[in-house]
Amino acid sequence: MSEIAFGLVSAYGVVIILIATYLSCLAVPVPTSFVMLAGGAFAASGDLALVSVVLAALAGAVMGDQSGFHIGRFGGVALATRLESKPQRAAVFGRARRFVDRWGVVGVFFSTWLISPLGPYVNLLAGATGMGWFKFTFWDTLGEAIWVAIYVGLGYGFASHIGQLAELLSNSVAFLTAGAITVLISLLLVRRLARSPNG
């Protein structure tokens, strides 16, 4: 997968970075993390401008999230019914729904970088449930900036070991996601204890 990402970035530069981040935010299975790593590595070697890589990745991600939000806003109920009828999507969509119900706009922030597999569904639900556009955009852009900075920064900083880094990250996605969910559950428990009359 990393070889494909490097080949695409080598051939098309920042255009493929923008397209990849856009599509990934609409739940299209593209190797976006590897593409951003490759963009960072090419920036480190001087083949691409670091600012251009960062701006392309961020622009694609924010535009993809905005597209998902507005799709949810104008077709949310019908789309939600359709997604929930598909067994492969129903489970992740259900998790995203509970996540939005529990965390609101802060959930949008976390879904862009900490629990990114939920991101596209959180965007749809944010639009469908009438979340304010300004709040959504603020927290979404902040989260996407962190996501882009992490992957482009890793690619830039570890350009000479990019193959090993890509393999390490691909093997640790499940671990990181489980860890992120554990952290969020812990925060929820702490908040409940703090609100408890006996706390």
pLDDT in tens, 107-129: 899 999 888 888 998 999 899 88
Q: How does residue 175 score in pLDDT terms, banded at 50, 70 and 90?
A: very low
Per-residue pLDDT at 96: 83
Is the whole-model pTM more than 0.85?
A: no
pLDDT 10s digits, 25-83:
999 989 898 999 999 999 999 999 999 999 999 999 999 999 999 999 988 767 777 76
pLDDT at 187 over 60: no
Q: How does residue 98 score in pLDDT terms, banded at 50, 70 and 90?
A: confident
Domain count, the chain: 1
Cα–Cα distance, 186 to 82 (Å, whole number): 32
Cα-Cα-Cα-Cα dihedral of 8, 9, 15, 17, to 10°? 100
Query: 103, 111 in Cβ contact below 8 A?
Result: no
pLDDT at 189 over 50: yes
End-to-end CA distance of the chain, in Å?
A: 50
Enclosing domain of residue 40: 2-195
Residue 126, Cα to own-chain centre: how many angstroms? 15
Structure tokens at 193: 């204890």
Cα–Cα distance, 32 to 16 (Å, whole number): 10
Cα–Cα distance, 27 to 64 (Å, whole number): 9
